Structures are given as structure tokens and as C-alpha cells.
Structure 1
């Protein structure tokens, strides 16, 4: 398959500032191509805010600044809300954390999966129905025709997550942002869903930004990793190099992975003074 080397996202000195003037994300720079890139870090480090800024979904009390922010070939700093609405779904899509809150309880599964097609593609009702069935089958959901008539409360967590993935991918976007897409699932189901995301992203030659706390899964399913700490990107490395990371923060995150070998033992404590000293040296 031919690959396009043009970056899907280019961010240079991206900053997100609160209404009080406090910088929440601080001058971060990165690019995303047609690759699997992970963004990791502890809660509150700015990962989800960064993801929402790339989708034009920041709340009105936050201010976005950047030297450059190009998303799917568009200058995201000057986009109107109408243009954002055209980009979301067609060029980039996002999968949220928990289907219990992300899916509409009042709409059928078929209606919700079909909505991006109705917004972005001109198709007949029969063609939309066919594509919805094909997409539900592609994400591994059985009996698509029957499933289309069901409501979110009738699905398990794993099925709901697959429905959300179907909604995100049905209009063939170039880039998928997955914000903790497996946090509401058990461990076995997490591996299944992440393997499915990886397979579909590779098949469709897309870019993936995966936000996660699980470094073990990141090392298995992603190619590159950005590590975020207190609103800064403090480390960038190949996912395969996580076990031999040299940055003290990345080392601690990797060491905190649960395993049989560490069961019952205290987890490592982050030496924040060492992390700050490393940042000052940089």
C-alpha cells in the first residue's frame, strides 16, 4: 500500500490557558503522520485537553494558542465552527472513554452509526444501511441487522466500545484520536479492542493518537510514544524502547506496570525533584 508522508497533525508551541491565565498545556510541539502514536502520563497532565484541542472541542473558558496548529491540512487556529463540523467525522474522529456516557441512550445503534454518513456523505437510505452493517461487521459485532435496532443499554461494555469505534470510522477519516478507549473494560477485552483498533488503522492507512495509562499495551500496539508531565511533553521515544527509557518519569511509569512478579510489593514512588532537574538540564 502506498503511504502519504504528509503529516496529518502539526503542532508547534501549542498552549492551552485557563480563564485565570494559568497554562494547562505548555508550549508542546509534535507531528502525527500515518502512524500509531501514544500520548501517556498521569491523570491531570494535559493529555485529554491536548486531544480535545485537536478536535476543536475545548470549552469556551479555555484559550488555545500556538505558533502552528495544522489539522488534516487546515489551519486549526482560524477554523470557523462550521468548518470544524465538516472536519470532525470526515477527516478526523475521536473515540471517548466510556460508551455509557458517549452513546445517546435515546437513539438506536443503527441511527448513531449512520449519523456521520448522513452529515458527510451523499448516499441513499439503502446505501447507508448497507455501510452501517458492513462497519458493524468490521468491528466484530455479530448480527448487524438486529444490532442496529437495539439501544445502548442493551449492549455490554465491549460491544458499546466497538459501536463507538464504528461511529468514528464509518466516514473514513484520515486520523483517529482514541482517549482511553479501554478504561471501562476488563483486561482481556482491552487487548481485544486495542488489537481491533490497530488492525483497522493499519488497513485504512490512518494516523492514530492513542491516549492511555497502560504503558504495556502502548508498547505492544503503538510505534511512538510521547510522555506528558504537568502540561509538558518531557520524553519522546519509540514504543519498543520503553523498557530501556532513560528519562526518570518514563522509567517510573514503566516500573509501575502491574504484574505477577510485583504482586504485593510497593510501587515505585516518583522522584519529582529528579524529573524537575532533568527538565532544567534540557
Structure 2
């Protein structure tokens, strides 16, 4: 967590400190006031008196622009275990007016854990009405594509947790800015995207709207980057007793068009280089 933040309040700079530094702020302000009183009692000749006055004015303004903050962390639902290498590809199918996307794993346990975790982000409901689950496809500059699935930072439970912290501060008679950080998992994997890939066909025909997300497991398509679009061959099947979830939509974007504050941009810039080393 960050203990110091620098912000702009309109045109004025502002310093936000963690509440653990409250003593520093209080005593710093008191010492500035005491030093100002002391210097007023002394006959300090110019230009020293002018310099002292400017320094005291600057310190007074500095402490005036300091705000204290309370920090909290919210942990989004996490899988009990995970193995990125088990994710072998994606399946794309159009059926009864809706696109279906299947995450293909070669390990049944990981396939189950993945779907259970994704459903947990939607409070284990079959239909995501609140845009709790984010799914995106990023077309990479090298010709491949990344698949991302992660929980939204706007889930209602995060807002409720933040309000609970702020209510507690009010009840304690404290005035604090609240900074909430999130700890979450990002399910991400890169795949090949040859000229006639099924992902390209999905991209060309998907016009927005709901997508049914499921996970599948098989050994038959191991090490391939995508699956069939017109139907599932024998040997395929969803995870038993875990239902798929209907997403509000998925996003398809080129790498160069990613916004810098997006999860995808941050992951590609800061996390992927670490994994490649």
C-alpha cells in the first residue's frame, strides 16, 4: 500500500499521508506555530527576518495542505489452486443467437476451479447483470492474441466494504480520506492467431452483447490455440455440476489501442516482462 500520495486539488498541490503519520503532522504544525511565536519575540534583523518569515509561511502552507488517509484492502475471490500451463486454448461457438466461449484446459481440476472462481466474482449467479466479470481479447503486435478474464473493480461488494470503513471513521470522529486497494487474480494467456483461426471468425461475427462462458477439458486439443466454431466434437463436455455464466459482453481491442490505466495494459507492460525473464 502507498503511505504517501501527491495530488492536485484544483491548481493547489496536496499531500495525503497514511494515518500512521498523524503524530508527525500534529507535532510539525505545533512546532511551526511555536517557532513563529518565538521569532516574533526576538529582534531579528533583516534580511534574516524576511527569510525566516518565508520559511515559516511555507511550512504553514505545507501542513495546511496535508490530509490523512485510512487504507484498506479488499481481496477478490481467488482460486484454491492454479496452473496457467493447463489452459490450452479457447472454443468459439454460435448457438441459438448467442456466442459461447469455452476455456479449454487439459486438467479437469483446473477447469473446475477456473469456472468456480469466475462464478464467485458474480456471486455464484448464472447471469452477470452487474458487469462483475470482465473478459477481453487483445490482438498483439506479434500476431497472436491475449485472453483476459478478471473481476470488475466496480463490484457492489467493494463499494459496500468501502462504505463500511468510512462509516467506522465517522463513528470514531475521525476525518480521513479512504484509499481502498484491491488484490485480485487476472486469468490471462497468450495464443497463436493464424490467418484462418476461429478467433478471427469470432471477432468478425461478434457484434456485442451477451456471451456464454464455460470451461472444458480434453486431451484432444492439447497445445492448440483455438477450437471448433460450429460444434463440439465427441469427448468434450463442460465441468460437471458447475454451470456456465452469461457475461454482459466481451471486449476485443488491438494492443496499441489499450488505455494506459486498463488492466490489460498494466499486465502487458509490467507483469508479462517478468514472466518472460
Above 0.5 in TM-score?
A: no
What interval of TM-score do these two structures reach, taking the shorter chain for normalisation?
A: under 0.3
* TM-score computed with the length of structure 2 as normaliser: 0.22
The structure where strand makes up a greater share of residues is: 2
Larger of the two Rg values belongs to structure: 2
* TM-score computed with the length of structure 1 as normaliser: 0.22
